[in-house]
Amino acid sequence: MSSFKLKILLVGTANVGKKELVQRFIKNRFAANYRLTVGVDILTKDVEFRPSEIATLSIWDIGGQQRFEFIRSTFYKGAAGVLLVFDLTREHTYTEVKKWLNEIKQVSGENIPFVLIGNKVDLIQHVGTVIDRKEAEAFAKKQGSIYIETSTRTGEYVDEAFSELTRRIIDSRTSD
């Protein structure tokens, strides 16, 4: 049985649901109360990304507030992959994702594996469609990645997003 230890970045603008994603993934629960991430929160979980293949993920939930921008790049060093998160109900959070990706690539290299996540898919029925989801999918594909829509409230595709990123990281390392 192979085992990997991977540093994963969880990034996106404030209030897109990063903390809820990681809580849902690690503890399988949804916490509705919002708490600001000051700088970075680091949590760990083992994930089975293929049958009997385990990776230990060190998940770095990076604070999305503008005022943390000057220290963010120090957290990027040594990252194996990124979950880029935006809120499907707030268009500017999607625009910001591209800035985050460029910032990370400058520190971690052009080929860092990532998964683009449109979070809060459960709210679309209440809010309506504000983001061109086909464009998000095309953007991820053009960057050599994948786009996944998640809901931290229902847990929909949360585990899959982490597993998919883990597989992409391992595959990028073993295909060299």
Instruction: Give the 3-state DSSP-derived string for 54-86, with helices as H, strands as E and coil as C.
Output: EEEEEEEEECCCHHHHHHHHHHHCCCCEEEEEE
CATH class of 3-174: alpha beta
Mean confidence (pLDDT) of the chain: 86
State pLDDT tens for residues 39-61. 577 888 888 888 888 999 999 88
- Residues 56 and 46 sit within 8 Å (Cβ to Cβ): yes
pLDDT at 34: 47
State pLDDT tens for residues 81-108. 999 999 999 999 999 999 989 989 998 8
Angle at 145 (CA atoms; ends 168, 152), nearest 5 degrees: 85
Amino acid at 71: I
pLDDT at 176: 55
Contacts of 97 (CB under 8 A, 6+ apart): 12, 13, 84, 85, 86, 116
pLDDT at 28: 65
160 vs 134: CA distance, rounded Å: 20
> What DSSP designation does 131 have?
S
pLDDT at 70: 62
State pLDDT tens for residues 118-131. 999 999 988 877 88
Does the pLDDT of residue 26 top 90, yes or no? no
pLDDT at 89: 94
CA-closest candidate to residue 59, choices 28, 38, 81: 81
pTM score of the predicted model: 0.89
